[in-house]
Amino acid sequence: MNERDSFGSKFGILVALAGSAVGLGNLWRFPYLVGNNGGAVFIILYLLFLTIICLPLMITEFVVGRRSQSNVFGAFKVLSQGKSGKAWGKIGFISVISALVILSFYSVVGGWTVDYITQAVCFNFKEGLDYEQTFRYSSENAFRPLIFTLIFLLFTAVVVIMGVNKGIEKYTKVMMPLLFVMVIMLAIRSLTLKGAGEGVKFLFRPDWSKFTIDTVLSALGQSFFSLSIGCGTIITYASYVKRNENIVRLSTETALMDTLFALLAGTAIMPAVFAFGLTPAEGPGLVFVIIPQIFSQLPMGGIFAILFFVVLFFAALSSSISLLEVMVAYLIEEIHWSRKAAVAISSLSVTVLAVLCSLSLGMLKHVTLLGNNIFDFMDKLSANILLPVGGLLFVLFAGWKMTDKEYFDEITNEGSLHFSPVFLKILRFIVRFVAPLVIVLIMLVSFLK
């Protein structure tokens, strides 16, 4: 049996968790959702849902992960005990499959960031260039995106194969502070552009006429996506956390870092969009089509383009590492493979699916699953089925299978930490009643659309 790895310091835990949460969801997905959903109204709703629903769920994933000291599959077996252990263990297996599916298309987008770094370094982003055509070439070409996807996956595997302490923790200790510094630099540059004030108003002055049910659901979905709720990464990382750490504080600090990064990302992008008279509701192409166009018109824009896409790459890599670790931890602890073998097989599995996802945007565009190309199918399979179903089963387990004593003992470190009884009761109520209803609502809306 392999000896279990663990994080070596509180700072290492915090930056690794922040790295898991801070990813393309913040720098790529958050700004275009803000643009599509009315700006400040979306942000207010997002912060509300993140505070009252997602933070309690994050704390609860910490409870399950650290108490079990096991991978996401083994965690439910350990905590359920008895004959029902194998049945509950299937919840964790859903998370393992979710990580595989998400990483299969996520790594393709990660590959685009590597591609755009090479283009930025070559100063290819020039005024008058057809950026939509450039993005199509980068995403639909038969071989170019495959090469960069494989490079991205190689970076991911190299970090994970080194282990939790010497790989994930060591990498994120350097990468996360650097990431925040670079985003702050981009935000400052964006705010100094003429006309940037309109972008700031869009982000922080709410226009309640933009309030719609779609805005509510988009904000709710993004709050889950942003904190990586339900995909097993928090449970896996929490299992490497030492028993004396305050998991409520760690969860809160991670959520605050994730939120700060999302707001900085919006501040780095949206004022520039308005300064150049472009539309904020560009959608997923905002980062790869609009942003290079902006940089091409800025003094020293080539340098800032390099900086931006390096930031985007680091953000993508931080999340891909946590997703791969979910699969690797399962193979090490349940199948009893070495870390090297687990990383190799997990990476190979992801690569096969990632190749199909990449080709489905080009030469395999005609191949569809339930009316979607393979890339979109994987996206919808994870977002609409695997994550909600796994998340629902998780909150039912944590809310009803775990006893109050087990739950509160883990939060209070067996009574050594003291929290308000009202806080603990509200936390338990949200996990037992509010969260299941919210997840069911998300699932119903997804199926009705």
Cα separations in angstroms, 298 against 126, 207, 317, 320: 10, 30, 27, 32
pLDDT, position 281:
65
Determine the Cα–Cα distance for residues 388 and 394; give it in Å rounded to an integer.
10
Cα–Cα nearest to 64, from 49, 52, 74:
74
Look at residue 402 and tell me if it is in a domain.
yes
Phi-psi bin for 300: left (phi > 0), alpha (psi -120 to 50), beta?
left
Look at residue 18 and tell me if it is in a domain.
yes
Look at residue 5 and tell me if it is in a domain.
no
Determine the Cα–Cα distance for residues 13 and 36; give it in Å rounded to an integer.
34
The number of residues in the chain equals: 449
Look at residue 3 and tell me if it is in a domain.
no
Look at residue 4 and tell me if it is in a domain.
no
Contact 227, 54 (CB under 8 A): yes
- The CATH number of residue 174's host domain is 1.10.4160.10
Residue 423: domain span:
10-448
Q: Identify the residue whose tokens are 């913040």.
A: 26
Look at residue 79 and tell me if it is in a domain.
yes
pLDDT, position 226:
82
Look at residue 281 and tell me if it is in a domain.
yes
pLDDT, position 294:
81
Cα–Cα nearest to 361, from 279, 278, 284, 449:
284
Determine the Cα–Cα distance for residues 270 and 32; give it in Å rounded to an integer.
9
Determine the Cα–Cα distance for residues 261 and 343; give it in Å rounded to an integer.
29
Contact 346, 331 (CB under 8 A): yes
User: Total structural domains in the chain?
Assistant: 1
Determine the Cα–Cα distance for residues 128 and 240; give it in Å rounded to an integer.
50
Q: What distance lies between CA 138 and its chain's CA centroid?
A: 23
Determine the Cα–Cα distance for residues 75 and 89; give it in Å rounded to an integer.
7
Determine the Cα–Cα distance for residues 421 and 372; give it in Å rounded to an integer.
49
pTM: 0.91
Collect all residues with Cβ–Cβ distance below 8 Å to 338 and sequence separation of at least 6.
2, 332
Structure token pair of residue 377: 């199918």
pLDDT, position 84:
60
Cα separations in angstroms, 362 against 148, 169, 337, 382: 15, 37, 36, 22
CB atoms within 10 A of CB 42: 25
pLDDT, position 1:
42
Q: Spell out the per-residue pLDDT of the chain, length 449, in tens.
A: 445 677 878 888 888 888 887 777 787 778 878 888 888 999 999 999 999 999 999 999 999 999 999 999 999 988 987 656 567 778 889 999 999 999 999 999 999 999 999 999 998 888 888 888 898 888 998 889 999 999 999 999 999 999 988 888 888 888 888 888 888 988 898 899 889 999 999 899 998 888 888 888 888 888 888 888 888 899 999 999 988 999 999 999 999 998 998 899 889 888 888 888 877 766 666 788 878 888 888 888 899 889 889 988 988 898 999 999 999 999 999 999 999 999 999 999 999 999 999 999 999 999 999 899 999 999 888 877 888 888 889 999 999 999 999 999 999 999 999 999 999 999 999 999 999 998 898 788 777 76
Mapping DSSP onto H, E and C, the string for 374-426 reads HHHHHHHHHHHHHHHHHHHHHHHHHHHHCCHHHHHHHHCCCCCCCCCHHHHHH
Look at residue 244 and tell me if it is in a domain.
yes
Give the burial string for 154-176 (b: 16+ CB within 10 Å, else e): ebbbebbbbbbeebbbbbbbebb
pLDDT, position 106:
92
Structure token pair of residue 103: 């990483």
pLDDT, position 426:
96
